[in-house]
Structure formats: structure tokens, C-alpha cells
Amino acid sequence: MQRFKNPAIIFGPAPITGLGVARNLGRNGIDVYCVAESKNEIAYSRYCKKFYAVHQIEKDKNVLRDFLSNIKKKLKHPAVIFPCSDQYHISKVQQKNDTEPYSHPSFS
């Protein structure tokens, strides 16, 4: 199976939406990282390479920006972001200019 260079970061993975996105990406050879305010079911998926529980990431734009800045340093290639909740989507759109250097946008 072909492995893709760019990983995916799923934000706010609700059990149904996030798990479906993680499975589809993972089955297609994409490394999947999941982020939410607290650990949930997707953390136990075999397709979730790493789960990050980050307090206040959904509500505080600075926490989101700082997280993206830090994870950029850990990844070899820019990530494709999948905001799987309305709040993450709104935060990402509002910070488009701030977060662009860290990732390729994807609005699912």
C-alpha cells in the first residue's frame, strides 16, 4: 500500500464523524493524529497514530495556534487538517492566516 507523506490531524473527533474520517484516512496509508479536549473512543482506534488531549483547545484560539506550532516541529511534512466539529471549523477559518504555515487546509 502506498504511504503518503502528509499526515492528517483530526480536530474534535466526535465518535461517529472522527472515527469514520480516521478509518478512511488510515486505510489509505495516511498517518492520523487526533486532537480533542479529552480522551474519547477514537483514541483506541488502530488508525489513530497518536491522540492529544489538549485542555481548552476548542474554545481558546491561542491554545489551538500554539498546538499547531508545536506539532509542526514534530512532523516531517505539513499536515492536512480535518476539523470534525463546527467549533473547530470556525476557529480554523478565523485563524487561517495564523495557521497556514503549519498545515494544508482541509474543510470536511
Run of H or E residues at 97: helix 96-99
Mean pLDDT of the chain: 81
Contacts for 43 with CB less than 8 Å, ≥ 6 apart: 34, 51, 53
pLDDT of residue 10 exceeding 70: yes
Q: Would you state the pLDDT for residue 107? A: 47
pLDDT greater than 70 at residue 19:
yes
Q: Report pLDDT for 70.
A: 92
Ranking 2-6, 55-59, 74-78, 79-83 by mean pLDDT, the lowest is: 2-6
Q: How many domains does the chain have?
A: 1
Q: What's the average model confidence in pLDDT over 34-55? A: 92
C-alpha cell at 98: 495564523
Q: Is residue 107 part of a domain?
A: no
Domain of 97, in residue numbers: 8-101
Asked if residue 54 belongs to a domain, the reply is yes
In contact, 42 and 18? CB cutoff 8 Å: yes
The CATH number linked to 23 is 3.40.50.20
